[in-house]
Amino acid sequence: MTINGEVKAGDLFVFYGLLQPVSESFPHAIDLAGSGAFLGEARIRGDLYDVGGYPGMVAGDGLVSGTLYRIDDPVIVPEIDAFEDIIPGEEAESLYRREQHPVLNADGAPTGPSAWVYVFNKPLAEDPKIESGDWLKEGEPRYRKRKRTPLQWVVRCVFATLFALFAYVLLSLVIGIIFDNQLLTLVVGVGGALGVFLIALFGNARNDGHHSGPDASDMINMRMD
């Protein structure tokens, strides 16, 4: 079986996780729509696990649900591989590996073609299995942003204030040493502290261009729910 092999125009992929266009964490910075076409639902043989806020497929007897994609411009493949944390030339260190698997229908019968699939490349610990094989229906809802209670907002404000104070002190020291200008030090310190406060209070980036699990806000919410 070819691992991380050459992708040619017209090749198929089956995306079963965040690269599906309806995923809340879909990486819009990768121009999948402009480099190919999404062709509808598909299945592949394997077992699906929640490996920390994103799915990982491994060899198994189950059916994994995904979206079939035809690539027309392979120049985008390095971006997709990078999103899946594939390190060129270092297969053992990569989070996933790209393999070709038969495309199946909903009943598990082969449809004819094969497609590239990103297979999880690390040992499973106590990662929960996605029994349905459908990340969008069973896995992703666990990580949707929860509505915060007043107590959660208070906790978030406290942490945001602490981060802002730290940023103010640090920026004031650095600017004061470099420029020795009180007005500039005050403006930069206050501006930086305000920015840090707002980011810490309202920031909830779901995806930074790479696989990522639930952010700190989600983890606080999970513990307090």
Rounded CA-CA distance 171/177 in Å is 10
In a domain, residue 164? The reply is: yes
Q: Span 199-210, mean pLDDT? A: 57
Q: Are residues 61 and 156 in the same domain?
A: no
Q: Please state, rounded to an integer, the average pLDDT across all residues of the chain.
A: 86
Q: Are residues 109 and 162 in the same domain?
A: no
Paired sense of beta strands 36-50 and 12-15, if any? unpaired
Q: Structure pTM? A: 0.67
Rounded CA-CA distance 157/168 in Å is 16
Total count of residues recorded for the chain:
225
Range of the structural domain that residue 183 is part of: 150-224
Rg of the chain over all Cα atoms, to the nearest angstrom? 22
In a domain, residue 4? The reply is: no
What was the pLDDT predicted at 203?
A: 64
What was the pLDDT predicted at 196?
A: 87
Q: Are residues 99 and 162 in the same domain?
A: no
Q: Are residues 155 and 97 in the same domain?
A: no
- pLDDT tens digit sequence for 121-157: 999 988 999 999 999 998 888 766 445 668 877 888 9
In a domain, residue 102? The reply is: yes
For the chain, the domain total comes to: 2
What was the pLDDT predicted at 148?
A: 62
What was the pLDDT predicted at 55?
A: 95
Rounded CA-CA distance 202/2 in Å is 44
Both tokens of residue 173? 């020291």
Both tokens of residue 68? 């079939």
Rounded CA-CA distance 47/57 in Å is 6
Last residue of a domain, one of 121, 141, 161: 141
- pLDDT tens digit sequence for 55-90: 999 999 999 999 999 999 999 999 999 999 999 989
Q: Span 190-214, mean pLDDT? A: 67
Q: Span 42-66, mean pLDDT? A: 95
